[in-house]
Amino acid sequence: MLYSTTTPEQKRVKLRELLGSGSVQQFPGAFNPLSARLIEEKGFAGVYISGAVLANDLGLPDIGLTTLTEVATRAGQIARMTDLPSLVDADTGFGEPMNVARTIQELENAGLAGCHIEDQFNPKRCGHLDGKNVVDLDTATKRIRAAADARRDPNFLIMARTDIRAVDGLEAAKDRAKALVDAGADAIFPEAMRDLHEFQAIRDAVDVPILANMTEFGKSELFTVEQLQEVGVNMVIYPVTLLRIAMGAAERTLETIKAAGTQEAQVENMLTRARLYELVDYEAYNQFDTGVFNFQVPGIR
């Protein structure tokens, strides 16, 4: 209860172990702290915390409007709900290299296992949209160097994301990935790869773990874990998947209530009261106070 029993330091060691395991590690995106518990319960390796989800959850587009304080606070709330390592999207690092340094320390304080920092210009946009732009090599590597120098826990994972593929092509992405590793990146997130061969090309260019972004409605096909394994991907994220499905369900339910005058037809699709209480570990709080969980919840509803 209350929740994570694992320290941030242990989670960072775990993340490094996972990335060195040789098999693809699946990190679904949590859209709130409770969904992180679900991700852990279903046996996933870790939790991803998406910048798009954090922005959209606040009703904002994902164009760099969220602040470091908002992201660190929400990411910390999510990370503390799970024993799994959490990787957070730190967008462009929230400013100049000195701001990036501050970002890393705040994310360490918030209990994250690592983050990724991208080479887009501000205002940034979803990596799968057209019309984005990237900063020059010097600026991109300075961000990563500042991040690597700022961390106090050497196991806090600094992942460099490059968006250059969609701007200057695959060769440029390979060159930039190598330069970002030289600047101190522990892992590479090559954004908007078009096919499996492109992942393979990045794999061959660098000898650090690489991430595949399986976001829906984007530029990449939705490859399976087996396909990603074959091209040497180490980690796959499903960043916005749970938010999209939850909001889809919310929309359908509102339509049902409006049309039918009752939510009855949607009740079978809901997490039951009993299941919800199980997820928040209601019963465990009885250890503190035996009066807290002294009621019956009908099992089926």
Ligand X SMILES: C[C@](O)(C(=O)O)[C@H](CC(=O)O)C(=O)O
Active-site annotation, residues: 48, 62, 89, 91, 116, 118, 126, 161, 191, 213
Instruction: Report the SS3 class of residue 157.
Output: strand
Residues 206-265 that bind ligand X (CB under 6 A): 213, 215, 218, 239-240
Number of residues that bind Mg ion (CB under 5 A): 3
Which has the closest alpha carbon to 239: 94, 47, 60? 47
Are 189 and 161 spatial neighbours (Cβ–Cβ below 8 Å)? yes
Binding residues for ligand X, rule CB under 6 A, total 13
Told to check if 190 binds ligand X by CB under 6 A, we report no
198 binds ligand X (CB under 6 A): no
Name the phi and psi angles at 6, rounded to 5. -105, 140
By CB under 5 A, is residue 89 in contact with Mg ion?
yes
| Cβ 251 to ligand X shortest distance, Å | 18
Q: Which residue has 């968006």 as its token pair? A: 163
User: Which of 15, 36, 89, 162 lies at the binding interface for ligand X (CB under 6 A)?
Assistant: 89
Whichever of 89 and 108 has its CB closer to ligand X, that residue is 89
- Nearest by Cα to 160 from 221, 220, 210, 212: 210
By CB under 5 A, is residue 64 in contact with Mg ion? no
Q: What are phi and psi of 72, to 5 degrees?
A: -65, -40
Rounded Cα distance between 92 and 232, Å, is 26
Minimum separation from the CB atom of position 134 to ligand X (A): 13
Nearest C-alpha neighbor of 78 from the set 12, 46, 32: 32
228 CA to centre of own chain: 18
Q: Which does 97 bind (CB under 5 to 8 A by kind): ligand X, Mg ion, none?
A: none
**Residue span binding Mg ion (CB under 5 A) among the ranges 43-51, 144-152, 166-174, 264-272:** 43-51
Span interacting with ligand X, options 20-28, 125-133, 244-252, 281-289, rule CB under 6 A: 125-133
Residues 6+ apart with CB under 8 A from 146: 93, 97, 98, 100, 101, 104
Query: Which of Mg ion, ligand X, none is residue 239 near (CB under 5 to 8 Å by kind)?
Result: ligand X
Separation of alpha carbons 1 and 127, rounded Å: 37
Interface of this chain with ligand X, residues 58 to 77, rule: CB under 6 A = 62
Which one of 8, 29, 33, 51 is in contact with Mg ion (CB under 5 A)? 51
For residue 170, give both structure tokens: 């695959």
**Does 106 interact with Mg ion (rule: CB under 5 A)?**
no
Pick what 36 binds: ligand X, Mg ion, none; C-beta below 5 to 8 Å, kind-dependent: none
Q: Whose CA is closest to 44, among 24, 22, 27?
A: 27
**Least distance from ligand X to the Cβ atom of residue 48, Å:** 7
Q: Is 146 helix (H, G, I), strand (E, B) or coil?
A: helix
Q: Which residues ranging from 258 to 277 are in contact with Mg ion (CB under 5 A)? A: none
Report d(CA 141, CA 266) in Å as an integer: 50
Residue at shortest CB range from ligand X: 50
Residues that bind Mg ion (CB under 5 A): 51-52, 89
Residues that bind ligand X (CB under 6 A): 50-52, 62, 89, 126-128, 213, 215, 218, 239-240
